[in-house]
Amino acid sequence: MKKIKVTLITGFLGAGKTTFLNNLIKKYPDAKFAVIENEFGEVGIDGSLIVDNQEDIFELANGCICCSLNGELRDVLRNLLNSDKKFDHLLVETTGIADPSAVAAAFIGDPGIASLFELNATVGIVDVKNVIQSIKEDEIAIKQIAFSDFLVFSKCDEVSEETIKQALFQCKLMNPLALTEKNYNGEVVKKDILNLNSFSSSKVEERASFVAGAHSHNHGDTVSYSFTFEGNVDATKLEMWLSVLFQLQFEVIYRFKGIFNIAGESNKVIVQGVRNESKIVIGSEWGVGEQRINRIVIIGKGIKREAIEKKINTILLR
Ligand SMILES: Nc1nc2c(ncn2[C@@H]2O[C@H](COP(=O)(O)OP(=O)(O)OP(=O)(O)O)[C@@H](O)[C@H]2O)c(=O)[nH]1
């Protein structure tokens, strides 16, 4: 039986993994994809941000795929194979704080899985705006870069050529073997990503030496809080809250994702925050009969759940 190729997508929080994944799906209209989305939070959001196509999307929420969820990942893979859906490529997007080597291990270490799936490549998305800071603060960011076969430098449209050069230089120090490509606007990458074939077992061993003993698996004091709540959100109050949140607390918030039901708006309103920046975009229309649930995921250090809960009460339209 032909093995199913697997591409792992890694990269620090907010680097642009889901954006990349969406564009990858668009680039190969004839491929039949299955997608595994892993989120470090109680509520899955990324699944709803993936382009609506024929793909089967499996979400692994409430934990990090590289830690406790390895067993669950194995179950999902077995279920995938037992389902009557046909697919020829599996894309796995890990959380922004996952160690990709541990995820790769699930594909290699389990003989049952290894006989059916073939790890093809690990693609690392590097946010050129924030990478230098991330590698200073979090060892996992270094592991992600060091472990990748192919590095996509995202957000090059937002920084100077000098900044891109510095990011490239730092990454090459950590991973001189990686192939690289610059991405200027989250666009489709040129490289034939599905056929990188760079995950030969010898390479895995070579890279495993880098991470051996370092898989301590304590994600430090990084926390992820998820909130779901009903009601109409007041657009002005939401904007005010976001501006305060991102201006004052950017040192503790790595990532903010929200889907909001704004009063008077027939479409979902999506807020994307990465460190001290946020972007509001109009999403798809709320379906007829669809419950208009607001969803927020916040990842960072030292965030107080109660403070956010209190705030949520104030942005609802009374
Ligand atoms: N300007 C610009 N923005 C980008 C690019 N790639 C991604 N973004 C934006 O960066 C933000 C985060 O992108 P995502 O694709 O959600 O990032 P992610 O890595 O999946 O985030 P997590 O799952 O939370 O770790 C979004 O607002 C994207 O639109 C790029 O090349 N240029």
Evaluate the CA torsion angle 298, 304, 309, 314 in order and state its sign.
negative
- Closest C-alpha residue for ligand 1 atom 24: 14
Token reading at 289: 């009969």
All CATH 3.30.1220.10 domain ranges of the chain, comma separated, are 222-315
pLDDT along the chain (318 residues), means of 10: 89 93 89 81 52 56 57 77 81 87 73 83 95 89 86 96 94 80 87 79 43 40 77 93 76 77 91 76 87 84 83 89
Considering the chain, tell me which residue range(s) the CATH 3.40.50.300 domain(s) occupy.
Answer: 4-211
Give start and end residues of each alpha helix (H) in 115-178: 131-137, 139-147, 161-174
Rounded to whole angstroms, the Cα distance separating 133 from 137 reads: 6
Look at ligand 1, atom 7, and give the residue with the nearest C-alpha.
16
Q: Does the CB atom of residue 273 touch ligand 1 within 6 A?
A: no
96 lines ligand 1 (CB under 6 A): yes
Q: Are 9 and 220 in contact (CB under 8 A)?
A: no
Amino acid at 146: A
Can you tell me which atom of ligand 1 is nearest the CA of 272?
27
Rounded to 5 degrees, what are φ and ψ at 311?
-65, -40
Which pLDDT does position 124 carry in this prediction? 97
pLDDT number for residue 215:
35
What is the assigned CATH class of domain 222-315? alpha beta
Residue 219 three-state SS = coil
What pLDDT is attached to residue 67? 58
**Domain range 4-211, its CATH number among 3.40.50.10860, 3.40.1440.60, 3.40.50.300, 1.25.10.10:** 3.40.50.300
